Structure 1
Amino acid sequence: MTMIVNNLQQVQQRIARACAQAGRDPGSVALLAVSKTFGPEAVQEAAAAGQSAFGENYVQEALDKMAALCALGHRPLEWHCIGPLQSNKTRPVAEHFDWVHTVDRPKIAERLSAQRPAHLPPLQVCLQLNVDGGATKAGVPPGEALALARAVAALPRLTLRGVMSIPEPASEFEAQRALHLRAKDVFDQILATGGAGLERFDTLSLGMTADLEAAVAAGSTLVRVGSGIFGGRVRAAAA
């Protein structure tokens, strides 16, 4: 058994234990393998072990990886853009990704909607929340999230699926859980409004390698795990 296959099994076991402790169905939490800075061979190995959804932070790196896997004749995978998204990168994301987790302002959503090819299914999107209130952090403030959700839900070629947050690291379980619960509160507020465009609003993208248990306890439906699957990162990637 390879390191990646073994790590995948361990992460899946962690999710199952966290769900059991929270009284949740293990099937209610999906795993997103964050493959940024790792090559197509690592993705191929994880995919061979049954992993189908992969998260990438850097657009050009992701496009190169997709092309390499396609050249190898690999089966289609589900690609999630989870890095900060600038206006000049929206077109390749709209054309090649299945999900975007980092929509934090109307302009980005409008560009993604306009640039999503008509022959592809709608792009699945999450709003990125800034639950810490840090001025230099990406994400929409919680108090502005509902207005953004309504604006995104009204756009064609996009399907609003939920919210995502990357809070500052906390060492204790309860502190981690408290931060994730801030995002859960915003998710619940948006969900409670109902209305057109929120029919598939079902995704709470919270938790990474270090805090997935606290995220599951707070209600996460999708955890984003990189180093826990692929190991430590040894190089930086260009955006």
Structure 2
Amino acid sequence: MSDITHNLAQVREKISAAAQRCGRASEDVTLLAVSKTKPASAVAEAIAAGQRAFGENYVQEGVEKIRHFQDAGVRDLAWHFIGPLQSNKSRLVAEHFDWCHTVDRPRIASRLSEQRPAHLTPLNVLIQINISDEQSKSGIALSELDALAAHIAALPGVQLRGLMAIPAPETEYDRQFAVARKMAVAFDALKQRYPTVDTLSLGMTDDMDAAIAAGSTMVRIGTAIFGARDYAARPNVNL
């Protein structure tokens, strides 16, 4: 058993245990394996262990991996863009990814819709919320959510699926849970207005338990699966 296979099994067990503790089914929480900076060989190990959803922070690196596995005939993967999105990179995301988690302004949403190829299904998008009001992070305030959601819902090339957030680091569970609940309340309200909304992307390795207890439907886990990242080796994505 490879390290990645072992790590994936452990992460899945932790997700299942966290879900059971709050009366949820483990199937209600999707594991998004964050494969940024990792080579295609590492992703291949995760695929062999049954993982199908992968998150990438860097557009070009993600596109290279997507093309690599398409060329290899692996067609059942879901690729999520989870990094900050610049306008000049929106076309690559629209043409290659299945999801974009970081929509935070109408112009980006419109560009993604216009640039989504007609032969593909609409791009699944999440609105990024800056839930901890950090100047260093992308995302909108909750007060801006209604207007942006209405804008996205009217676009033909994208489909509004929910919300994403990267809360400020907290070491205490109660504080983690309080922030996660703010997101969950906003998510539940959004679901009442838009039938396509079903995804709350919230929770990483250190706050996964609190996020799941609050209602997250997708957790983003990287290092616990693939090991420490070597950013110097980021461009090397080949097998």
* Residue 202, structure 1, aligned to residue 221, structure 2: no
Q: Residue 104 of structure 1 aligns with which residue?
A: 104
Specify every segment of 5 or more residues in structure 2 that has no aligned partner in the other structure, as ranges: none
Q: Which residue of 1 aligns with 2:122?
A: 122
Relative to structure 2, which stretch is displaced further, 174-183 or 155-164? 174-183
- Aligned equivalent of 2:72: 72
User: 2:90 aligns to what?
Assistant: 90
Determine helix, strand or coil for the equivalent of 1:32: strand
Q: Distance in 2 between matches of 1:41 and 1:127?
A: 31
Give the deviation of 1:235 after TM superposition.
1.7
Question: What are the Cα deviations for residues 118-142 of structure 1, in whole angstroms up to 9, with x where unaligned?
Answer: 0001100000000111233200101
Q: Name the counterpart of 2:188.
A: 188
Match in the other structure for 1:231 = 227
**Aligned partner of 1:25: which letter?**
A
Partner of residue 131, structure 1: 131
- Structure 1 partner of 2:152: 152
Structure 1: runs of 5+ lacking an equivalent: none
For 1:179, the equivalent position in structure 2 comes to 179
In structure 1, distance between residues paired with 2:191 and 2:195: 9
Question: Shift of residue 163 of structure 1?
Answer: 0.0
- What is the aligned residue count? 234
State the identity %.
Answer: 53
Does the residue aligned with 2:188 lie in a helix, a strand or coil?
helix
CA distance in 2, matches of 1:94, 1:75: 17
Question: Tell me, what secondary structure is at the counterpart of 2:231?
Answer: coil
CA distance in 2, matches of 1:187, 1:15: 20
Match for residue 18 of structure 1? 18
Deviations 1:101-158 (A, max 9, x none): 0000000000000000000011000000001112332001011111111111111111
RMSD: 1.2
Question: TM (normalized to structure 1)?
Answer: 0.95
CA deviations on 1:195-236 (whole Å, 9 max, x unpaired) are xxx222010000011111111011000000000110111225
CA distance in structure 2 between the aligned counterparts of 1:164 and 1:129, rounded to whole angstroms: 6
CA distance in 2: counterparts of 1:60 and 1:150, whole angstroms? 30
The aligned amino acid for 2:173 is F
User: What TM-score does the superposition give when structure 2 sets the normalisation length?
Assistant: 0.95
Q: Which amino acid aligns with 1:215?
A: A
Secondary structure of 2:120 counterpart: coil
Per the alignment, residue 28 of structure 1 pairs with 28
In structure 2, distance between residues paired with 1:8 and 1:89:
31
- Does the CA contact (< 8 Å) of 2:134 and 2:168 recur in 1? no
Deviates more, 1:57-66 or 1:9-18: 57-66
In the alignment, structure 1 residue 6 sits paired with structure 2 residue 2: no
The counterpart of 1:219, out of the listed 197, 203, 215, is 215
- Higher mean C-alpha deviation, range 171-180 or range 16-25: 171-180
